[in-house]
A and B are shown apart, each in its own frame.
Chain A
Amino acid sequence: NAGVMQNPRHLVRRRGQEARLRCSPMKGHSHVYWYRQLPEEGLKFMVYLQKENIIDESGMPKERFSAEFPKEGPSILRIQQVVRGDSAAYFCASSPWATENTEAFFGQGTRLTVV
């Protein structure tokens, strides 16, 4: 049973380009969470999605960021018109259901560098 798969592992974008980060949850998991880790900081929650629904996007910047988790395929975190401040590690986690005593399993992260 493969773990949470994120790709690419490393992504370099020029300012103004779009970044698309992919997350395939563990088999049987229908809940996905995205976190951002700025350099030398802890992880900050961005968004929580269930298949085809955004449940909680309280941590998402209001502009340029969007996320989806379609019925088929991976979850996508999209950052439009990237700026230097978007450089960070983006982690995806998945869980089989939405209860507090469930562990969320993390992927290896995508390290985005904006040049």
Chain B
Amino acid sequence: AQKVTQAQTEISVVEKEDVTLDCVYETRDTTYYLFWYKQPPSGELVFLIRRNSFDEQNEISGRYSWNFQKSTSSFNFTITASQVVDSAVYFCALRIPGTASKLTFGTGTRLQVTL
């Protein structure tokens, strides 16, 4: 069975601080896909990134970066120089072959960025 663990329930930082959100996953499959979604206070789910299990290159997109480490089954997400608009719940998710687009989500990390 698949599982995604986001051990950090809530994180509070001051604007301009860097923050890392942890994600640990479990699967027996060698091929899988990992995702991060953002859920702002308005409630919708915003897609941030998709990464397949064969691509361990870290990715940077503006202030966002992702560190994929197969050896530790982790796919951590870092926001550099956080802003108030980054305040949201962030979900990590896993998809395995044979399940089409069915996603297994973690329980989310609520990030609060204050001035």
Contacts and interface: CB of A to CB of B under 8 A. Distances in A.
Interface of A: 31, 33, 35, 41-45, 48, 55-56, 89, 91, 93, 95, 98-109, 111
Chain A CB count within 10 A is highest, among B96, B101, B107, for: B101
Interface in B25-73: 31-33, 35, 37, 42-45, 47, 50, 52
A73 B91 CA distance: 30
Contacts of A99: 100
Contacts, number: 72
Given A42-B105, A43-B105, A100 B43 contact: no
Interface residues of B, number: 29
Interface of B: 4, 6, 31-33, 35, 37, 42-45, 47, 50, 52, 91, 93, 95-97, 99-108
Question: Interface majority SS on B: helix, strand, loop or mixed?
Answer: loop
A91 B101 contact: no
Contact of A48 (B33, B44, B91, B102): B102
A44 to B, nearest CB: 7
A108 B44 CA distance: 4
Contact of B95 (A41, A42, A44, A100): A100
